[in-house]
């Protein structure tokens, strides 16, 4: 179909066009996001009572042959361990002779089964209690912190057959107690659109809470509940996500499918993963992990081996909606940066450049070239309008002067084309949001743009994004 672009006068309104260069993850409204042919699911708002989720839980039945093989293999391992700890005779030793784990009998081959058994015994003996050191670390972290992880359940408003609003059970997720006064860190999508929010503690209490702040751009929220006066809450401590390494061990505690305080383990599989939620928002620097994360884990902590929060479990990549070993967590340093704003203001204070933008797209580029304009770049944000008296206007950024229509959208051409903000390349509106993510109102950022064929740079003092968008 040919693209129709033509001038239209007069035009009293400006409608910006935003076309993301990356296919966005589609929000299905029930807690699922899908990325084109791939599937990325938020892992909250789930319940074991949900029949759709119940059908996704598969129980593998083993054949008789597989069972026999498993039993024989287990028996063989048991015999080797028994030999290693001296229950069964080794060589010329009598039954019941104990093999000293600290001074194993010399053997002729370092690859012999006896050496492997003794080494395994040493690991178990040193750990104590029949657990390996790794297992003891897992147990210690879980026993110390599992009571600091809560199950978050919600009620939403539904419309009955008589078109009346009625309360309805929503989904469920997880959360971490981050303050003894009753502050819980969770995901925004866990509590979004909730009529009521409940915090279910490890002790069995079900307390009503209140969402005091949320941020959809990082998918984080803070719930406040009032703990009983005689109760001391377990706080899950913050860690540091800036020095993580691929391959390091991680633990996840959450409530998958409503199964409370479930522990899974894995490693950091990747770092710095950008995941796009919609045309405006990219969650930057997400932590990828193979720790099993399923619906209901959303909002729960991803911990390091010391039991410190390094991320907030948020979504999974999955063709089916179940865990396939590709999960994503919002880095804890992002949470540490925005939680104070959520508690104080109920939202995140972010800076903004007061203008309306249009992302460059092929039809627009072709139109501008046909009109005799020189276009030195094919990626960037065209400034359609710089609000009069706004920070962009005061700093010298120019908006367009010629209104055009593209299908149902109307905007101005001829303005500056922004290509960089605060040192970050900007090719889409999502890039602009990301470049300003760490900046507060009043901060100064450098904005680089093309005016004709000339590249220019200016400093802009940021305004408050919420005030600008709210005042439109």
Same domain? For 378 and 269 the reply is no
Integer angstrom CA distances of residue 159 from 162, 167, 461: 8, 9, 46
pLDDT at 126: 52
Nearest CA among 82, 83, 80, 81 for reference residue 91: 83
**Looking at residue 42, what is its pLDDT?**
58
Q: What is the pLDDT of residue 423?
A: 93
219 is catalytic: yes
Upper half-sphere CA count for residue 368 (Cβ side, 13 Å): 25
Token code pair at residue 139: 């147990």
Tell me the pLDDT tens digit for each residue of 234-252.
999 999 999 999 999 999 9
Q: Mark whether 456 and 396 lie in a shared domain.
A: yes
Angle at CA 320, nearest 5°, toward 315 and 325?
Answer: 55
Q: Are residues 417 and 435 in the same domain?
A: yes
Counting the structural domains of the chain, the total is: 3
Residue written as token pair 């460059």: 360
pLDDT of residue 420: 96
Indicate the helix (H) or strand (E) that contains 421: strand 417-421
Count of positions (residues) in the chain = 472
Q: Strand, helix or coil at 39?
A: strand
CA–CA separation, 214 and 222 (whole Å): 6
Q: Name the residue among 359, 281, 271, 292 with its Cα closest to residue 25.
A: 281
Instruction: Give the end of a domain, one of 276, 309, 339.
Output: 339
Answer yes or no: do 358 and 280 share one domain. no
Q: Which helix (H) or strand (E) holds 79?
A: helix 64-85
Task: Indicate the burial class of 453 (C-beta count within 10 angstroms; 0-12, 13-18, 19 or more).
Answer: exposed
CA 298 to CA 255: how far, in whole Å? 8
Distance (Å, whole) CA 393 – CA 102? 77
Single out the catalytic residue among 42, 47, 176, 189. 189
- 261 in any annotated domain: yes
Residue 164 covered by a domain: no
In this prediction, residue 45 carries a pLDDT of 42
Task: Region of 321 please: left (phi>0), alpha (psi -120 to 50) or beta.
Answer: left
Catalytic, 298? Answer: yes
Catalytic residue chosen out of the listed positions 219, 354, 416, 422: 219
Instruction: Report pLDDT for 331.
Output: 96
Note whether residue 392 is domain-resident: yes
Same domain, 365 and 416: yes
Which CATH number fits the domain that encloses residue 406? 2.30.42.10
Residue carrying the six token digits 């994360």: 293
| Token output for 379 | 């990626």
Read out DSSP for 124-140? HHHH-TT--HHHHHHHH
Burial class (CB in 10 A: 0-12, 13-18, 19+), 112: exposed
Last residue of a domain, one of 317, 339, 361: 339
Same domain as 328, residue 298: yes
Assess whether 314 and 280 both reside in one domain: yes
Q: Is residue 295 part of a domain?
A: yes
- Supply the range of the domain harboring residue 38: 26-46+238-339
Q: 293, 311, 339: which is the final residue of a domain?
A: 339
- Position 159 in a domain: no
pLDDT in tens, the chain (472 residues): 443 343 333 333 333 343 333 333 333 344 434 343 344 555 554 433 444 433 333 333 333 344 344 544 555 545 444 444 444 444 433 333 233 333 333 333 343 444 444 454 445 545 456 889 999 999 999 999 999 999 999 988 888 887 777 777 878 899 999 999 999 999 999 999 898 999 999 999 999 999 999 999 899 999 999 999 989 999 999 999 999 999 999 999 998 887 888 999 999 999 999 887 766 677 888 999 999 888 889 999 999 999 999 999 998 876 666 667 789 999 999 999 999 999 999 999 999 999 999 999 999 988 888 876 668 888 999 999 999 999 999 999 999 999 998 888 899 999 999 999 999 999 988 889 889 988 999 999 999 999 988 999 999 999 998 888 775 5
Residue 368 forms part of a structural domain: yes
Asked if residue 466 and residue 355 are part of one domain, the reply reads yes
CATH number at residue 304: 2.40.10.10
Residue 360 and residue 330 share a domain: no
Q: How far apart are CA 192 and CA 203, in angstroms?
A: 26
372 and 280 in a common domain: no
Please list the residues that pair with 154 across neighbouring strands: 197
Parallel/antiparallel/unpaired status of strands 309-317 and 444-451: unpaired
Q: Which of 47, 174, 214, 298 is catalytic?
A: 298
Same domain, 312 and 401: no
Whether residues 356 and 442 share a domain: the answer is yes
Q: 422 an active-site residue?
A: no
pLDDT at 109: 39
186 within a domain of the structure (yes/no): no
Q: How far is it, in rounded angstroms, from Cα 427 to Cα 255?
A: 39
Q: Is residue 376 part of a domain?
A: yes
pTM over 0.85: no
What is the reported pLDDT for 380? 94
């Amino acid at each position: 179909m040919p693209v129709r672009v033509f001038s239209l006068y007069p035009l009293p309104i400006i409608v910006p066009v935003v076309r993301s260069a990356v296919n966005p993850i589609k929000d299905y409204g029930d807690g699922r996001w899908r990325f084109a042919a791939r599937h990325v699911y938020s892992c909250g708002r789930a319940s074991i009572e949900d029949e759709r989720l119940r059908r996704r839980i598969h129980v593998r039945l083993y054949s008789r042959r597989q069972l026999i093989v498993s039993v024989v293999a287990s028996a063989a391992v048991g015999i080797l361990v028994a030999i290693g700890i001296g229950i069964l005779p080794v060589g010329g030793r009598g039954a019941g002779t104990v093999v000293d784990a600290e001074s194993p009998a010399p053997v002729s081959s370092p690859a012999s089964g006896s050496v492997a058994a003794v080494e395994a015994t040493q690991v178990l003996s040193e750990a104590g209690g029949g657990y390996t050191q790794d297992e003891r670390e897992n147990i210690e972290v879980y026993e110390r912190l599992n009571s600091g992880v809560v199950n978050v359940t919600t009620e939403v408003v539904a419309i009955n057959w008589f078109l009346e609003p009625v309360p309805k059970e929503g989904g469920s997720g997880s959360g971490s107690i981050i303050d003894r006064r009753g502050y819980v860190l969770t995901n925004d999508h866990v509590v979004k659109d909730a009529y009521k929010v409940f915090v279910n503690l490890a002790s069995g209490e079900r307390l009503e809470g209140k969402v005091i702040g949320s941020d959809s751009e990082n998918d984080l929220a803070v719930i406040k509940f009032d703990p009983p006066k005689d109760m001391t809450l377990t706080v899950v401590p913050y860690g540091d996500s800036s020095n993580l390494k691929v391959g390091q061990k991680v633990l996840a505690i959450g409530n998958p499918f409503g199964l409370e305080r479930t522990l899974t383990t894995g490693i950091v599989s990747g770092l710095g993963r950008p995941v796009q939620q919609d045309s405006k928002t990219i969650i930057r620097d997400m932590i990828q992990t193979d720790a099993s994360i399923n619906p209901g884990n959303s909002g729960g902590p991803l911990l390091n081996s010391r039991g410190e929060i390094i991320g907030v479990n948020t979504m999974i990549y999955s063709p089916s909606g179940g865990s396939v070993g590709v999960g994503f967590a919002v880095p804890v340093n992002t949470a540490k940066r925005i939680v104070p704003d959520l508690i104080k203001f109920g939202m995140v204070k972010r800076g903004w450049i007061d203008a309306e933008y249009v992302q460059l797209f092929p039809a627009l580029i072709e139109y501008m070239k046909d009109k005799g304009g020189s276009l030195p770049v094919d990626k960037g944000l065209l400034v359609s309008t710089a609000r009069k008296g706004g920070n962009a206007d005061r700093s010298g950024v120019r908006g367009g002067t010629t209104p055009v229509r593209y299908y149902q959208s109307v905007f101005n051409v001829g303005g500056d084309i922004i290509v960089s903000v605060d040192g970050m390349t900007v090719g889409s509106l999502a890039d602009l949001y990301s470049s300003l993510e760490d900046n507060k109102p009043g901060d100064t950022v450098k904005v680089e743009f093309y005016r004709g064929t000339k590249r220019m740079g200016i400093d802009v003092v940021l305004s408050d994004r919420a005030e600008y968008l709210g005042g439109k």
